[in-house]
Structure formats: structure tokens, C-alpha cells
Amino acid sequence: MMSADPEQKHEYTSLRVSPETIPDLITIAESAFGVQLNKSTLLRKFDTQFTGAAYLGIIARNENQFPSAYYGVFPVKVIIENRSYLVAQSGDTMTHKLHQGKGLFVRLAKETYQLAAENGVQLVFGFPNSNSYPGFVKKLNWQHNVDLTKFSKKIYTLPMAGLAAKYGWIGNCYRLLLSKRLRTRDYFQSSIIASGQNGVERDLDYWNYKAYSPNFTFRAAGVKVWAKIDGVLQIGDIEYKESADYEKVLKKIARWAFSRGCHKIVFQCSNDTWLSGILTKNYSSEKGLPVGYVNLTEDFPAFELKFSLADFDTF
């Protein structure tokens, strides 16, 4: 691993992220977040060639070629009024601790947006947290008109999933016990698209791409549920079926969570969607993450996209 360079005034060069420079992201993340990213996972996550564009991000290195910061986006297709458009989600933005406060966030973002536009991306969107929100809105002129809604439900069970997230040895045992059950990935279309609204086009190529993350599907009352366990049971989406009894589906999901030691079930989705409608009567709700975006072209239609947790690059 590269040694931390001394604090000094730096001149930075920019280079496009690539399979060869993925290790730079691992170095930056270890300093910025204290986490050790997996190279194989990153290579799969950045391989968005199924959209027609891939590796849309810029790395900053200092004069000693030390990885200092990164800004990037992940291309996805969206459906708006039955037409397909190429957009991208902002993700994995980070700056090495020794190189913060030097304007790299704004510089790399603008360079990435130019690269994205040159590759046909018409809009960049994201779900900034409270720490990154001011930078996106005040420095990058992101628009923010709506928030997601976070729905949650407590499950009174032995919290094995939560303990597994905190303690490595428990996590290893937990994953081993559930490994067979958490490998299933049965494709289904986005409930947002299936119910007639505008959203991310989750075709089979997208579905296969999302295998870089440890998500899985299970069935509840005959309906497919796309989920991920990360301390709690996060539900990315539920299959849309006009004939299904969703009161029964939600009860089955709760039983599934109880039997797997998940003490909480969490959804996040846009308001005024079919999914938010079935959750309102059964789950507690609060304001979720903001939905922000910046247009890269004047030709992009009015922003009317809806999202669920399955659309997050971290899901």
C-alpha cells in the first residue's frame, strides 16, 4: 500500500478511472471512510458497458502520483413516457484525508460531468446524505425538489443480523447459515415501471449487473421480493402483481425477517408510487434521502423519475 505523503501544497493531475486504476479507489477509501474495498467487486460495479458507457469517473493524483480524490457516476437507463434515456447516478465520491479542502470535489465533478456528457449521459442524479448535500446543491448547482420516504417496521426477534454487522465472527457464522437461502436472484421488472410510472429500466442486463452486491430475492405469498441484509432487512423492491394480496405479502415479509434474525425492515421509495401506497398503512414513515439532479443537456425532459431502494448503487 502507498505510504501517506506529507502535508504540502500540491499540483494535481486528472485521469479517467479504468480497470488498471481501480486500486487508487481502494487507497482513497481506506483513508476517507476507514473501509477496505474489494477490487473484484469494484471491477464488476464499474463495468456498466451494458448501458453503452462505462468507467465514467475521474481520479486526482498529486505530483508524486499519490491517489488523492475521486468523483464518478454509474450509467443507467431510465424510462420516461415509454422512451429510454441514458442518465447516471453519482456514487463513490471520496477524498483522501490529506487532500481535503483543496477544491478537488468540485473540480473532479465538473470533469466527470463533461466526460459523462461526451458519452451520451443526459442527466446525473443521486441521493446525497447530510454531509454531502451542501456541496452538491451549493457548489454543483444540483436541483432538489423532492425527498424519498423511508418506511420501517420493527421486528421483535433475536437481532442476529444486527450483531452480524457489528462482529465479524458472528457475521461469518450468520452468512454461512443463510448462504443457500441468500443466493437466489429471480428477475422481475421494477414495480415503478410495471405500474406505469417513470423510473430506472431494470431489464435483465441491469439485474445481472447488480449481482456485484450481495442482494437476493425470496418469495412472500407468491410475490418476488428483492432484498439485502445489512444489519437490517432492506427491501429494494416488490414485484407488482394486480391480483396479489399485499397485506398478506407484507405479513410474510415480516415472518421472513423474524425467522432470519432481522430486527428491522426498511424501505425507501418515492412518494406517490404504488410501493409507497401499500406501505403507508402498514409501516412507520419519515423523510428519507433527498433526490437531487443536474441536467447535462437541454434536451432532457422534465424530471419526473421515481425511485426505490433497489435503484441505489449501494443496494
**Which residue intervals of the chain are DSSP H helices?**
22-32, 39-46, 104-118, 133-134, 160-166, 168-178, 191-194, 204-209, 246-259, 274-279
The answer to whether domain 13-121 and domain 148-288 are alike in fold is yes
The predicted structure's pLDDT at residue 180: 66
- Alpha carbon distance 136, 292 (integer Å): 8
List the one residue out of 256, 231, 264 whose CA is nearest residue 163: 231
Strand pairing class (143-154; 284-295): antiparallel
Q: What is the DSSP letter of 120?
A: T
Per-residue pLDDT of the chain (315 residues; tens, 9 = 90+): 344 444 556 789 999 999 999 999 999 999 999 999 999 999 999 999 999 999 999 999 999 999 999 999 999 999 999 999 999 999 999 999 999 999 999 999 999 999 999 999 999 999 999 989 999 999 999 999 999 999 999 999 999 999 988 888 887 888 877 876 677 889 999 999 999 999 999 999 999 999 999 999 999 999 999 999 999 999 999 999 999 999 999 999 999 999 999 999 999 999 999 999 999 989 999 999 999 999 999 878 877 899 999 999 999
The reported pLDDT for the residue numbered 170 is: 83
Beta partners for residue 287, in sequence order: 149
The set of residues, in sequence order, having a beta carbon less than 8 Å from that of 103 and lying 6+ positions away, is: none
Structural domain spans, the chain:
13-121, 148-288
Of 49, 38, 87, 92, nearest in space to 69 by CA = 92
Flag whether the pTM goes above 0.85.
yes
159: which 3 cell numbers?
437481532
CATH T-level topology, domain 13-121: Aminopeptidase (3.40.630)
Query: What separation in angstroms does the CA of 137 have from each of 143, 144, 150, 294?
Result: 7, 8, 22, 9
Residues 191, 271, 245, 240, Cα dihedral to 10°: -10
Which of 24, 55, 49 has the alpha carbon at shortest distance from 39? 24
Is CATH 3.40.630 correct for 148-288?
A: yes
